[in-house]
Structure 1
Amino acid sequence: MTWLDELTWLDGLRTAALVGTGRHAAPSPPAGLTVRPPEGLSREEEVLDQAAMVDVVIRASRRPAQASAATLPLPASPDTEPQAAREAARLLELLLTQPPVGLELRNQLVVDWLQLAEESRRRVPHGLLPAMFALAETKVAVFKRLEPAIGTRGRWLQSLSKTSVPTPADESPEPGIELASAELKRLRRSDPAAARERLATHWGDLSARERANQLALLATNLGSDDEELLERALDDKAKSVREVATGLLDRLPGSLRAGRMSARLLPLLHLKGLLNKRIDVDLPPDPDEQALRDGIPSNQRSGEPDRLARLDIIIRGAPLEVWTSVSGRGPASTVELLKPEPRVLDGLITAAVSRKDLEWIRALLTVRTDVRLLGCLPVGEREQWLEGYIRNGIDQPLTLVPLLRDLPQPWGLGLADALLGLIAGKNGGQLAAMLAQVLPTALPREAAEQCRRLLERSDEDAARRRVLRDAVQYQAFRQSLTEAFQ
């Protein structure tokens, strides 16, 4: 077949496709192809049949690009780990090509597969590496788990790939002026003193934005040794720098500023009552020059001064021991005296969380359910608290959603049982729908049977059924993966 025959054939097919087979029939293939269309095809089928034939001809006629030996990649080294067993490989191929679950659950199951492969010292079959890399290009969770399960051949293919795999955000290089901040951040993790000294040395050369951004990095490994630089920042001309400094000093209850805040707070607190004791809290006076330096706002040019905002700042900056010194009681009893003061409790919560003071955090949880407080508890204690909270009855179940979303997975069986009981109750479908992204993967394997029983009940709530079905499917497939790697 000559190139002229090929061009004539292609032009005829384009015309038939453009104007329609009713006006222009598909041309006959060139004789040089030595193939003929099947008999009995309609005009439309002839066009489609020959279009497929054109694709084959074009692909078959391509010639590989010429390359010198110097530009050819070195062959891959042999893999030292065996590939996954036949059943495990089959399950991975199913997930990558025809997933039996939703895409989000599929992605998690691929991550589970890679983790099991790492634990059993197995690798992804070579034929599935391209599909695995295609998924990892858009799913960071999958990318993070590629090593070491992709093996030597996988790393070789990665080095040849022109498609970049997403890099986790905290490891990606930051352009321009942010590069210095990224370097300081890494140094702060490994050598806090050296990072602080570097910042202090270059302080005068930095813009206000750079000073604020880099000062905020002291939050990592913050300690009393940082106080001198933070005190220096309180005198900075830029408000943004001063605000960062006050926020960090709030986390240092032994600092000089905390002592100054204590001196301002103590005269405002009064223990009242003989039998029914309470703590009355006065509002602070107008700030003097030293109070302004410590971050207490001045009067507005118009309107009444916001004395509650000043009180909030004083509470957040003062040591928590001021309150127990006034009440003569421990944190739990002191918090009980402050239940009628919600604004004061807000400030105490902020202070307790910023300092990770577990005694005060536990005390405040007895009067206020707050996600910030809960997040500071050790994981096991956090689960126990949530389980008890659910079993004791809860008026607004939807308040659990942010608390549960941030809980490490999988959850304990006790918490899972309590939550599934809540979901099975009246209006539990709305809670299930709001937890749809986390519930299937967060429930422990032992909870799958309870989900199956709930599904067997007559239920018109489509959202609840969908979430429970996803949980059952995920756990079943996860169990199959576990068995395939044994």
Structure 2
Amino acid sequence: MTTSQAPWTDLVEDALLGTNRRASPDLLGRAAAATVARRAGLRPAPAPPLPEPAPQDCRPALPEAAARRLATLLAENSSELLPQWLGTARARGFAAPPELLPALLDAARQRSDLRSDAVVVAGPRGRWLSALNPDWRYVLRIPAQETAAGSEPPTATGTAADAVWQEGLFAERVTHLTRLRRADPAAGLALLRTTWPTERAEDRLLFLDALQEGLGPDDEPFLEAALSDRAKNVRATAAELLSTLPGSGLAARMAERARRAVALGTDGALLVDPPALCDASMLRDGIAATSPTGRGDRAFWLGEIIAATPLSFWAELVEEADATQVPQRVLSRAAAPTWSDELREGWARAAVRQHDAAWARALLAERPEQVLGRAVSGGAPSRLLSVLPAAERAAWTARFVSRQGLADAFQLLVTCAAPWPADLSGAVLDALAQAAETGSYPWSHSGVLGVAERSLPCSAAARIDALAAVASSAWAEVLTRLAETLRTRAAMLAELA
């Protein structure tokens, strides 16, 4: 203990013991004087070295109006317009203004869906700035290379890839694996193998989902091994992925089970006899021992088998060489009411897994109201529309909206690419007009209105103004806001041109 430290230590001891136990005249006065002396004697710490200057960004600066728009969107935290603004600015190769980089990086920190576009728009200066603030370190885990306008961000390689995979947040790791699978499926699988045994079950489940990108026969051995995973959901997901590979061993095993469960009767109708029990081989192939759906076990097992059977099996069963005619021929033979629903739901799931537009088209055409009704309730047919080409998907949704209105249309509308074509836009606007006339509450259509803000063509603003002019006060306010959003979108895109 140094001489300079001793008086302060004595003062602290006197204060802790109390003046009634140790005499200490003018304790507070001496403590105040000692405090001033200690502070006066402190030497300032050396200043930290200045960082290297920010790198130059050679991309064109934003037009002045577009820069003002970005500042407004960041201040308002616009959930609908900011993603589209960033995607457009990125595609057109603009650099964000330096003074807006902190707000832009903060917005992307709070919303992971903005990060890819925000980091590219922020550019090298944003990356330089992120190294100075721990809150923005997520930027350093995103590939540094800038991409060509409108292209997929590159996948990190070497040390950068190791940092993303070993240190990144879970969402960043999934994104990295997905991009790597798109670029090099074998490299993506090899990366996943390096940490697979140590991953948590819930993480293994989502990593398996990423294998849908570039899924092929080379993935079969890994997925077959995953059928023995200790987590039930992982086993089920591995089985579902294998069922999308028509040449896989699992697909062949499911086809054999379908052959035992479904036969062609002498009258041409399908004879259905589902399994009476779930044996060990069915359990290993991802079929649960008891139905988790509320249906009977046999009905559940039948549906699982049909969903995982290659659709080519049914061409062999009905001896039809023309693949486009198989769905109609098979559906016409499945009239028996006992197992009809299980067969159709199984075929719908198989069509989605195997991306078979002919089967999806046939199922939708057979009973459109019933199938689309299931779609909006969240069942397997909800993805049937996603199998169809974009224009056909939009046309189906337009017909559904024209018949059924908007009450159950949200899940269908979000599958349609923006901006919506004329037939779908017209159907949605007609349905909005009808909803306003019947006096339904606007907030009951909040989901549809939200997707309409980013998907209706900007030219629809004039018609929406006309609807607002004759609507009730509640609807007039909602429709006016929708029209203003479309006009804002039009101005925003013009500023970025």
* TM-score, normalized by the shorter chain, greater than 0.5: yes
Are the structure 2 counterparts of residues 226 and 83 from structure 1 closer, same or farther at C-alpha, using a change threshold of 3 Å?
closer
Are the structure 2 counterparts of residues 459 and 271 from structure 1 closer, same or farther at C-alpha, using a change threshold of 3 Å?
farther
Q: Indicate the SS of the match to 2:409.
A: helix
The one-letter code sitting in structure 2 at the alignment partner of 1:365 is L
Are the structure 2 counterparts of residues 473 and 282 from structure 1 closer, same or farther at C-alpha, using a change threshold of 3 Å?
same
What is the aligned-residue RMSD (CA, Å)?
4.4
Q: Is contact 2:130–2:139 with CA below 8 Å preserved after alignment?
A: no
Residue 223 of structure 1: aligned partner: 216
418, 423, 430: which one aligns with 1:414: 423
Deviation at 1:421, TM superposition (A): 0.4
Q: Is contact 2:229–2:235 with CA below 8 Å preserved after alignment?
A: yes
Paired with 2:135 and 2:200, the residues of 1 have a C-alpha distance of 38
Residue 331 of structure 2: aligned partner: 335
Q: Deviations over 1:122-163 (max 9, x none)?
A: 544444444444444434455443355446655544443453
Identity value in percent: 32
Q: Is contact 2:131–2:140 with CA below 8 Å preserved after alignment?
A: no
Residue 246 of structure 1: aligned partner: 239
The one-letter code sitting in structure 1 at the alignment partner of 2:424 is L
Paired with 2:199 and 2:88, the residues of 1 have a C-alpha distance of 49
Deviation at 1:116, TM superposition (A): 5.1
The one-letter code sitting in structure 2 at the alignment partner of 1:452 is D
Q: Indicate the SS of the match to 1:283.
A: coil
Q: Which segments of 5 or more consecutive residues in structure 1 lack a partner in the other structure? A: 1-64, 98-102
| Structure 1 range deviating more: 382-391 or 265-274 | 265-274
301, 319, 327: which one aligns with 1:310: 301
Residue 138 of structure 1: aligned partner: 110
TM-score normalised to structure 2 length: 0.66
Does 1:465 find its partner at 2:476?
yes
Q: Is contact 2:385–2:415 with CA below 8 Å preserved after alignment?
A: no
Paired with 1:207 and 1:122, the residues of 2 have a C-alpha distance of 39
Residue 311 of structure 2: aligned partner: 320
Q: Is contact 2:264–2:317 with CA below 8 Å preserved after alignment?
A: yes
Deviation at 1:362, TM superposition (A): 1.6
| Structure 1 range deviating more: 344-353 or 211-220 | 211-220
Q: Indicate the SS of the match to 1:399.
A: coil
Paired with 2:496 and 2:476, the residues of 1 have a C-alpha distance of 31
Does 1:425 find its partner at 2:434?
yes
Larger Rg belongs to: 1
Does 1:348 find its partner at 2:347?
yes
* TM alignment of 1:23-422, pairs within 5 A: 71-77=49-55, 80-81=58-59, 83-97=61-75, 103=76, 106-115=78-87, 117-118=89-90, 122-150=94-122, 154-164=126-136, 188-193=181-186, 209=201, 213=205, 218-234=211-227, 242-271=235-264, 278-287=269-278, 290-291=281-282, 293-296=284-287, 306-327=297-318, 330-338=326-334, 340=337, 341-366=340-365, 367=367, 368-369=371-372, 370=375, 371-391=382-402, 393-394=403-404, 397-422=406-431
Q: Deviations over 1:390-448 (max 9, x none)?
A: 34x22x64221111134332222321111110111145646632323221121111211
**Bigger relative contact order, structure 1 or 2 (CA pairs below 8 A, ≥6 apart):** 1
The one-letter code sitting in structure 2 at the alignment partner of 1:331 is P
Q: Is contact 1:411–1:444 with CA below 8 Å preserved after alignment?
A: yes
TM-score normalised to structure 1 length: 0.68
| Structure 1 range deviating more: 190-199 or 331-340 | 190-199
Deviation at 1:449, TM superposition (A): 1.4
Q: Indicate the SS of the match to 2:270.
A: strand
The one-letter code sitting in structure 2 at the alignment partner of 1:356 is H
Q: Is contact 2:61–2:94 with CA below 8 Å preserved after alignment?
A: yes
